[in-house]
Structure 1
Amino acid sequence: MSHPVLLERILRWAQAHEQARALVLTGSMAQPGARIDPLSDLDLELVVHDVAAMMATGPWWAELGEVWATQVVDAFAAASTQAYPLVGVIYAGGATVDFTLIDAARFTEMARIQQLDRVYAPGYRVLWDPDGVAGGLPAAAEPGPASQPSLTQQELRAVADAFWFEALRVPKYLIRGELWEAKSREWTMKQHLLLLIEWHAAVLTGRPLDEYRKGRHLSRWADPWVWQEAHEVFGRFDAADSWRAFLASVALFNRLAGETAGEAGLRYPSPADEAITEHLRALAAR
């Protein structure tokens, strides 16, 4: 099912539902210039009279088509600026819709201070709003000139310490043959590696650090050599290749940290960074 067809079906459904008050499109589909494709998700905020009552009537999302899979996330602050339940639905054919159920109070503070939160700021589109509940929202601002990113010695040290804290745990699980636990620790380690990849790109290009990127479109914004080296940091589920990928991650982190520090006028490596690296290499050679 194409995005326009699915959107039209959801819109007609909302207009006929007694609980629905408005429908707002967020996410990449609502962001000017965002790259979307047939596999992109639809992110919708459904404004209802009573969020709890609407959730209690589920599965209302099944009225929109054949459902393949559903994930219901209770109100827990899905984004730091809101605390509303989210229903992720994959419909037959693979179309994915993330419904966030909200009430009109969602807009109150944004309208009062005339400032959009991080969900709405990149772009939003009001699809249906007969009562004007979203009428007080400011327009999404055009992207302004990027501010020069500033990485401090303390921030760089914090990233390095977090990376090493996990990296020092991986070898013991590889040595013990606990591959699943090793992979779990290595994945946590890679989250810190990714943050440094982002800082590296930000410091070298002057583009702002985008903390929500999470590795998306990495080949478009990372330095070409980083993209190539990133191919080496994921290993198979066996000890030998896990060691290879682990050491590749360590090497990539050290090179990134060195280049980033040099560009930002900071210090890296410290004697501890060098000692840890040698310790990890020695463990791998056992």
Structure 2
Amino acid sequence: MECSREKGGQIMEYENLVDNFLSWAKTEEAVQAAIMIGSRARTDVPADRWSDLDILLITDTPGLLLDSEEWLGHIGAYSITFLEKTAVGGSLERRVLFEPDLDVDFAVFTHEHFTNMLSLDEVKLVFKRGYKVLIDKIHIHKRIEVIDFAKENQSSVQPAAQQYDNVVQDFYYHAVWTMKKMLRGELWVAKDCLDDNMKSLLLQMIEWHAKAVNQTEPWHNGRFIEKWADPRAVQAFIHLFATYEKEDMHRALLKSMKLFALLARETGAHLGCAYPFKAENKAFNFVEIHYSQLL
């Protein structure tokens, strides 16, 4: 695999990558359509020097693009490539670091898969924020719909009472579970739950709170969370993560629980959902009572 910093005697830029990609894709039968999304296609929160390049590839032979790296050589020299699940749409993407340090995500979809996912609100929201058709040999771009933000905010899909209750109960259950792992000395497992599972549940509540209480539109997977989350949550973020040490993990656990409780109570009140105070009290009591045993 060639790993030169240069192609054609000049350092590669994203514009060069797109030009090289188009030169290859226009005559490549496997590529039926290519659509740029993300920061390099957006008008709000546009790309900066650290932004990557996101391209959707529509093909009826995904194996040619996912199982092989050979086609990347037509675009430029690269040093790293691997496969990963897409953040939205439930497919796979080939992620590539082209020289000198240009990261590109090629999300690969079959024609049928792409057409089916266009009905999802999260996908419509991605396209609402901006997209650019690079190639379309099958006129699939005509099927793309975007969310009307004004209409979407008026009839925003919020959790049902059962879903809300399940997330709150799940969070507090794992607060107790994490504390038990800490007490057993299983710090890796405890920290993994605290910083992964519990943070995912906290993020879900932050999103619901933003829409229900503050009437703001959250981005997926915590993107630009500092811009749309409640300011009190943003101020608390610095306290939510711990070092690999029992006492500091206990501190971060309590801070995470207190922020979750604040947001969950307000969200429940705005949505008309009953807040499970019994679960909150049980979790806080357990975490606080057993603190001395960590020392």
Q: What TM-score do the two structures reach when normalised by structure 1?
A: 0.82
Amino acid at match of 1:122: V
Which of 269, 275, 280 is matched with 2:287 structurally? Answer: 280
For structure 2, list consecutive stretches of 5 or more residues without a partner in the other structure. Answer: 1-11
Amino acid at match of 1:68: S
Matched, 1:86 2:90: no
Distance verdict in 2 for CA 1:199–1:285, change over 3 Å: farther
- 8 Å contact from structure 2 (residues 39, 47) kept in 1: yes
- Deviation of 1:31 (Å): 3.7
Distance 2:142 2:263 in 1: 45
Relative distance call for 1:178 and 1:56 in structure 2 (3 A) is closer
Per the alignment, residue 49 of structure 2 pairs with 38
Distance 1:5 1:178, change over 3 A: same
**Unpaired segments ≥5 residues, structure 1:** none
2: CA distance, partners of 1:92 / 1:200: 41
What is the match of residue 190 of structure 2?
182
| 2:245 is the alignment partner of 1:234 | no
Partner of 2:206: 197
- Which of 11, 23, 35 aligns to 2:22? It is 11
Structure 2 equivalent of residue 50 of structure 1: 61
Residues 1-58 of structure 1 show CA distances to partners (whole Å, capped at 9, x for unaligned) of 4332321221122234454343221234334434322222222123446333444543
Q: Which segment is superposed worse, 224-233 or 33-42?
A: 33-42
Q: Deviations over 1:126-158 (max 9, x none)?
A: 1123x4443643464554331254454323311
- For these two proteins, the number of residue pairs brought into alignment is 276
SS of alignment partner, residue 40 of structure 2: helix
RMSD over aligned Cα, in angstroms? 2.9
Equivalent residue for 2:223?
216
Tell me, yes or no, if the aligned pair for 1:24 and 1:126 is still in contact at 8 Å: yes
Matches within 5 A, 1:129-148: 129=136, 131-134=137-140, 136-138=142-144, 140=146, 142-145=148-151, 146-147=153-154
Decide whether aligned partners of structure 1 residues 90 and 255 sit closer, same or farther in structure 2, where only a CA change above 3 A counts: same
The aligned residue for residue 128 of structure 1 is 135
Query: Residue 9 of structure 1: SS of its match in structure 2?
Result: helix
Q: Does the CA contact (< 8 Å) of 2:182 and 2:190 recur in 1?
A: yes
* Residue in 2 that maps onto 1:69: 80
Is the 2:167–2:201 Cα contact (8 Å) retained in structure 1? yes
User: Is the deviation greater in 30-39 or in 229-238?
Assistant: 30-39
- Structure having the higher helix fraction is 2
**Could you tell me which of 148, 168, 177 is aligned with 2:176?**
168
SS in 1 for 2:26: helix
Aligned-partner Cα distance in 2 for 1:27–1:168: 38
Tell whether the 8 Å contact from 2:95 to 2:104 is kept in structure 1 after alignment.
yes
2:256 to 249, 253, 256: 249
Kept in 2, the 8 Å contact 1:116–1:138? The answer is no
